[in-house]
Amino acid sequence: MSVKRKNWTVAEILEVYNTPLLELINRGQEVHRENNNPSEVQVSSLISIKTGGCGEDCGYCPQSAKYNTGLEVEKLMDVNTVLDAADKAKEGGASRLCMGAAWREVRDNSDFERVLEMVKGVNAKDMEVCCTLGMLTEEQAQRLADAGLYAYNHNIDTSEDNYKKIITTRSYDDRLDTIKNVQKAKISVCSGGIIGMGESIEDRVKMLHTLSSLDELPDSVPINALVPVAGTPMENQPLLPIWDMVRMIATTRIVIPKAVVRLSAGRTQMSLEGQALCFLAGANSIFAGDKLLTTPNPEFNADMEMFKIFGLTPRKAFKGKDQIRLKHVSADHQHHH
Ligand code: SAM
Ligand code: DTB
Ligand code: SF4
């Protein structure tokens, strides 16, 4: 364990989550200020490099081949298309580009070679490159690291108990194994989940407990509000109350104080006031760009206007890098004892 932290119990995290709302927001903000610059927000841009036709049955996902969501399946993008998109995202102020593929896992084939080229190309633009490609072996993680991958997104999505009800084609342990492989390759881990899928508060808290108990804490934790998509088993889920999002963000901030906590999917249904409360509670990242992977996101200009109103500024690329490197140094250090 390289970062000093409190060993939170499920009961303690639950108590935090259930703190009176305004008290909780205040505590989230306090922890945020002690650990991070509260006026800085990391802006990530998402690009779906391989869309749809996925073999997994994740109940929330429009890209699963098991559900008829009317999504058009696309092959892996060309390297140049991705690099052009990276230029646009950078011009707009994004410091991180996250490339998503609707794959169950990475296979050692020409598609993977192409993704490695994309990683090299985006890295050369001085942007933080992130990928989310499904499960990885240790060797694949190492090859991505060698190509210059900065971060890997792999969400645990919910509690271990609830996971089986949402996905049957892979296990919670599969997820945790990939996270370990990513950590071994010294790639920054981005892992969080989705709320609003019909899970209990206990499920939300247990998910945070799992994340806060990892040997190495995730550097980045996306909190997604379910975007209910017609054709998926979750199409009729009621919209998540904004208060649940605010509580979840504050609780995440308090239990993983130094993480980049990302107010991720679901922002099109949130008011500016609601999002302001999320930033107050400790969120310090968003996905910007008119599209997430396949579903809509607020207009880019509207987000820049929001930053102006709130007095927030986009964070520069690689700000977390020293912190990450130090962590590795101290991890290596421990190793020698
Ligand atoms: N296939 C890879 C995987 O599952 O790890 C990468 C892409 S997958 C779309 C990335 C994440 O998007 C999922 O783990 C999930 O948290 C999120 N996601 C997918 N569909 C969503 C939805 N309808 N609403 C909110 N988040 C969603
Ligand atoms: C994450 O936690 N959220 C992003 C990113 N990681 C890859 C994806 C959200 C996807 C929302 C549904 C869609 O647009 O397809
Ligand atoms: Fe496939 Fe990822 Fe969607 Fe699951 S979340 S169906 S693995 S694209």
Question: Mean pLDDT over residues 81-93, rounded?
Answer: 89
Provide the pLDDT for residue 311: 95
For residue 85, how far is its CA from the centre of ligand 1 (angstroms)?
21
The active-site residue, picked from 54, 96, 175, 278, is 54
Ligand with an atom nearest the CA of residue 195: 1
**At which residue do the structure tokens 């990242």 appear?**
285
Using the atom order of ligand 2, give the atom closest to the CA of residue 63.
15
What is the C-alpha to C-alpha distance for residues 222 and 229, in angstroms, rounded to an integer?
Answer: 19
Which tokens in the block code for residue 18? 């259930």
| Per-residue pLDDT at 24 exceeds 80 | yes
The active-site residue, picked from 130, 143, 175, 278, is 130
Long-range contacts of 86-90 (CB under 8 A, 24+ apart): 86/47, 86/121, 86/122, 86/125, 86/127, 87/125, 89/45, 89/47, 89/127, 89/289, 90/125, 90/127
Residue 75's pLDDT band, with cuts at 50, 70 and 90, is very high
Query: Which residue, by CA, sits nearest to atom 6 of ligand 3?
Result: 64
Query: Would you tell me how many other CB atoms lie within 10 Å of the CB of residue 303?
Result: 23
Q: Which amino acid, one-letter code, is at 113?
A: E
Give 333 or 40, the one with higher predicted confidence. 40
Provide the pLDDT for residue 89: 86
| Per-residue pLDDT at 110 exceeds 90 | yes
Residues making up the chain, counted from first to last: 337
Domains and CATH numbers, the chain: 10-336 (3.20.20.70)
For residue 224, how far is its CA from the centre of ligand 1 (angstroms)?
9
What is the C-alpha to C-alpha distance for residues 35 and 234, in angstroms, rounded to an integer?
Answer: 36
Beta strands (DSSP E) in the chain are 40-50, 96-101, 128-132, 151-153, 188-190, 193-195, 220-225, 260-263, 285-288, 313-314
Strand, coil or helix: 46: strand
For residue 264, how far is its CA from the centre of ligand 2 (angstroms)?
7
For residue 277, how far is its CA from the centre of ligand 2 (angstroms)?
21
Answer positive or negative: Cα dihedral of 303, 309, 314, 320. Answer: negative
Which tokens in the block code for residue 126? 């001085």
Cβ 179 under 6 angstroms from ligand 1 = no
Query: Which residue, by CA, sits nearest to atom 10 of ligand 1?
Result: 132
Percent of the chain with pLDDT over 90: 84
For residue 115, how far is its CA from the centre of ligand 1 (angstroms)?
19
**Average confidence score pLDDT of the chain:** 92
The active-site residue, picked from 96, 170, 253, 262, is 262
What is the C-alpha to C-alpha distance for residues 156 and 211, in angstroms, rounded to an integer?
Answer: 8
Ligand 3 pocket (Cβ < 6 Å) reads 54, 56, 58, 61, 63-64, 102, 104, 134
| Per-residue pLDDT at 237 exceeds 80 | yes
Is 131 annotated as catalytic?
Answer: no
Provide the pLDDT for residue 335: 44
- Ligand 2 pocket mutation pick from 129, 264, 297 by most atoms within 8 angstroms of CB: 264
| Per-residue pLDDT at 332 exceeds 60 | no
Question: Mean pLDDT over residues 197-208, rounded?
Answer: 98
Percent of the chain with pLDDT over 70: 93
Report pTM. 0.93
Is 130 annotated as catalytic?
Answer: yes
Question: Mean pLDDT over residues 196-200, rounded?
Answer: 97
Using the atom order of ligand 1, give the atom closest to the CA of residue 102.
1
Provide the Cα torsion 256, 187, 113, 178; round to 10°: -60
Cβ 224 under 6 angstroms from ligand 1 = yes
Residue 329's pLDDT band, with cuts at 50, 70 and 90, is very low
Cβ 295 under 6 angstroms from ligand 2 = yes
Which residues on neighbouring strands pair with residue 223, listed in sequence order? Answer: 193, 263
| Per-residue pLDDT at 330 exceeds 50 | no
For residue 293, how far is its CA from the centre of ligand 2 (angstroms)?
6
